């Protein structure tokens, strides 16, 4: 992995299902962040074949293997600090005051991005089983441009 990755793959809410389309969309990532509800350890094993993976535990990750996953994690990409957690509503710090540039979360299964107080918030959506009418998606974050580029990628499911 390069010293300062610029191509970050974002995935969440796989719930034990890693679609080939998700792997293809994340190919070329220098770092992959999984924002919880992994579902099976094999998901992380497969993602690690593409890039370094930082993953957090989601509310469905209750089996013994998942106890090793933190509830929140910090990823560094050069001077860019990223904070990863499953449910953005559980955020118990001021990201800007703590020095974070990006917050990545999942849980809602709804892909989206917005900026608040100079911090970019990204939810890649759910890459696992389709829930209701929501899209199946992942996201790609490019830190090599200013402002950062976020591409929400809807997968054919």
Answer whether residue 132 shows pLDDT above 50.
yes
DSSP 19: -
Burial tier of 120 (Cβ tally within 10 Å: 0-12, 13-18, 19+): buried
111-131 confidence digits (pLDDT tens):
999 999 999 999 999 999 998
Strand duo 149-154 + 52-55: pairing: unpaired
* Residues 6+ away with beta carbon under 8 Å from 25: 9, 138, 140, 153, 155
pLDDT for residue 2 is more than 50:
no
Residues linked to residue 114 through DSSP beta bridges, in sequence order = 121
75 membership: H or E segment, kind and range: strand 72-77
All structural domains of the chain, each given as residue ranges with its CATH number in brackets, are 7-154 (3.60.21.10)
Q: Kindly report, residue by residue over 10-40, the tens digit of the pLDDT.
A: 999 999 999 999 999 999 999 999 999 999 9
* pLDDT tens, position by position, 33-80: 999 999 999 999 999 999 999 999 999 999 999 999 999 999 999 999
pLDDT over 90 for what percent of the chain?
A: 92
| Lookup: tokens for 99 | 């020095």
Using CA atoms, how far apart are residues 76 and 83, in angstroms rounded to an integer?
Answer: 9
* pLDDT at position 1: 43
In the DSSP assignment, the letter for residue 134 is P
- Structure confidence at residue 4 as a pLDDT band (50, 70, 90): confident
Those residues whose C-beta lies under 8 Å from the C-beta of residue 134, and which sit 6 or more positions away, are 109, 110, 125, 126
Which residues fall within 8 angstroms of residue 51, CB to CB, at 6 or more apart? 1, 5, 9, 26, 29, 30, 31, 32
């Amino acid at each position: 992995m390069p010293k300062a990755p610029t191509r970050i793959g974002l995935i969440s809410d796989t719930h034990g299902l890693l679609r080939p389309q998700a792997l293809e969309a994340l190919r070329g990532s220098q770092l992959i962040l999984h924002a919880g509800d992994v579902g099976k350890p094999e998901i992380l094993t497969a993602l690690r074949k593409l890039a370094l993976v930082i993953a957090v535990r989601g509310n469905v990750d209750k089996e013994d293997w998942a106890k090793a996953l933190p509830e929140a994690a910090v990823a560094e990409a050069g001077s860019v600090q990223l904070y990863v957690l499953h449910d953005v509503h559980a955020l118990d710090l001021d990201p800007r005051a703590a020095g974070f540039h990006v917050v990545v979360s999942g849980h809602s299964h709804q892909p989206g991005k917005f900026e608040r107080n100079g911090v970019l918030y990204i939810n890649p959506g759910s890459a696992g089983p389709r829930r209701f009418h929501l899209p199946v998606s992942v996201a790609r974050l490019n830190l090599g441009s200013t402002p950062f580029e976020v591409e929400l990628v809807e997968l054919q499911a």
